[in-house]
């Protein structure tokens, strides 16, 4: 991918040519997705074991498509978002991949894959009020602090731009403090095109408490494979701008990228 960028710049095409490439989203399971533009791929909470059949897990550890990624983002270390053994094997098989996560996840990977260069492992730990900004794999990523609903491991949200689209994935959300968390971080005031958000936030009137948090497209997540239809229905009761998936490894082109 870096060779392609260099070649395009030499030809005078640069960012405009890259922006013309469509962006797609592949659903893995739970809260896991792979965002793709051309040969560049970002995995978010995608290397986990929850509801992952053996064949898919083999693709993960071998860094085979769709897991031949440039960047791995992990919001927190719960087992349905992250598996240290899977990530460790992937990082060994994919020497070009970068890994970004809270410190407990990074340490878990280091313990299992001590030969992976420390430069490839990026620890994020944003303050409660101010996002942390990191430059990784050619992307500028804003990292936000969102306390885990169960008081569990450190949970962070990510915001990045790819193909002209701004993506936000907040990890798990504490619905009891959601409005305060959004106001505290200021993330609801930042334009967003694709918001990958836990489906349960659309229920029981929670969404009406955060009217300022808007996006052009909502992707309800954190549902089991058996509850994907329920997640879609719940989100659809709040907004018509919903992107739904019916099965693992399903890929959809984001038509938003084609709009002026």
Average pLDDT over residues 126-138: 96
- Let me know if residue 255 belongs to a domain: no
pLDDT for the residue 259:
53
- Let me know if residue 216 belongs to a domain: yes
How many structural domains is the chain composed of?
Answer: 1
Indicate the range of 17-21, 186-190, 218-222 predicted with least confidence. 17-21
- Residue 158 near residue 141 (C-beta atoms within 8 A): yes
Average pLDDT over residues 102-123: 98
Which strand (E) or helix (H) includes residue 90?
helix 84-93
- Let me know if residue 39 belongs to a domain: yes
pLDDT for the residue 43:
98
At a CB cut-off of 8 Å and minimum separation 6, what does 240 contact? none
- Residue 152 near residue 78 (C-beta atoms within 8 A): yes
Mapping DSSP onto H, E and C, the string for 166-223 reads EEEECCCCCHHHHHHHHHHHCHHHCCCCEEEEEHHHHCCCCHHHCCCCCCCEEEEECE
pLDDT for the residue 157:
97
List the CATH number of the domain containing 180: 3.60.15.10
Distance CA 112, CA 167 (A): 30
- Let me know if residue 1 belongs to a domain: no
**Residue 18 pLDDT more than 90?**
no
- What would the pLDDT profile of 206-255 be if each residue is shown by its tens digit? 888 787 788 999 999 999 999 999 999 999 999 999 999 999 999 999 98
User: What burial letters (b/e) apply to 117-146, b meaning 16+ CB within 10 Å?
Assistant: eeebbbbbebeeeebeebebbebebbbbbb
Mean pLDDT of the chain: 90
Residues linked to residue 176 through DSSP beta bridges, in sequence order? none
**Residue 1 pLDDT more than 80?**
no
- Let me know if residue 33 belongs to a domain: yes
**Residue 2 pLDDT more than 60?**
no
Distance of CA 63 to the CA centre of its chain: 17
Residue 227 exposed, middle or buried by CB count within 10 Å (0-12, 13-18, 19+) = middle
User: What burial letters (b/e) apply to 62-73, b meaning 16+ CB within 10 Å?
Assistant: ebeebbbbbbbb
- Let me know if residue 7 belongs to a domain: no
Mapping DSSP onto H, E and C, the string for 96-118 reads CCEEEECHHHHHHHHHHCCCCCH
- What would the pLDDT profile of 135-181 be if each residue is shown by its tens digit? 999 999 999 999 998 788 999 999 999 999 999 999 999 988 888 99
**Residue 17 pLDDT more than 60?**
no
Which strand (E) or helix (H) includes residue 8?
helix 2-10
Please give the order of strands across the beta sheet that includes 165-169: 132-136, 139-145, 156-162, 165-169, 194-198, 217-221
Q: Is 131 helix (H, G, I), strand (E, B) or coil?
A: coil
pLDDT for the residue 212:
79
- What would the pLDDT profile of 31-60 be if each residue is shown by its tens digit? 999 999 999 999 999 999 999 999 999 999
- Residue 228 near residue 244 (C-beta atoms within 8 A): yes
pLDDT band at 9 (very low <50, low <70, confident <90, very high): very low
**Residue 3 pLDDT more than 50?**
no
Average pLDDT over residues 118-123: 98
- Let me know if residue 71 belongs to a domain: yes
Domain containing 97 equals 21-240
pLDDT for the residue 11:
38
Distance CA 228, CA 97 (A): 30
pLDDT for the residue 19:
55
Distance CA 195, CA 160 (A): 11
- Let me know if residue 251 belongs to a domain: no
């Amino acid at each position: 991918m870096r060779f392609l960028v260099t070649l395009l710049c030499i030809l005078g095409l640069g960012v405009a040519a890259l922006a013309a490439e469509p962006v797609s989203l592949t659903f893995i399971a739970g809260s896991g997705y792979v965002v793709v533009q051309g040969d560049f791929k970002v995995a978010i909470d995608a290397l986990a074991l929850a509801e992952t059949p053996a064949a898919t897990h083999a693709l993960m550890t071998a860094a085979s498509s769709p897991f031949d990624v440039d960047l791995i983002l992990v919001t927190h270390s719960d087992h349905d978002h992250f598996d240290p053994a899977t990530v460790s094997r992937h990082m060994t098989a994919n020497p070009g991949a970068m890994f970004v996560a809270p410190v407990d996840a990074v340490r878990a990977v280091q313990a299992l894959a001590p030969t992976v260069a420390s430069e490839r492992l990026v620890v994020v730990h944003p303050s409660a009020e101010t996002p942390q900004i990191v430059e990784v794999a050619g992307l500028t990523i804003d990292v936000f602090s969102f306390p885990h609903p169960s008081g569990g491991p450190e949970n962070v949200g990510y915001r990045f731009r790819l193909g002209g689209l701004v993506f936000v994935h907040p990890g798990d959300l504490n619905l009891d403090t959601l409005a305060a968390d959004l106001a505290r971080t200021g993330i609801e005031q930042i334009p967003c095109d694709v918001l990958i958000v836990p489906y349960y936030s659309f229920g029981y009137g929670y969404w009406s408490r955060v009217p300022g948090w808007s996006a052009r497209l909502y992707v309800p997540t954190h549902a089991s494979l058996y509850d994907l239809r329920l997640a879609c229905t719940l989100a659809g009761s709040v907004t018509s701008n919903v992107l739904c998936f019916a099965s693992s490894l399903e890929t959809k082109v984001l038509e938003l990228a084609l709009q002026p």
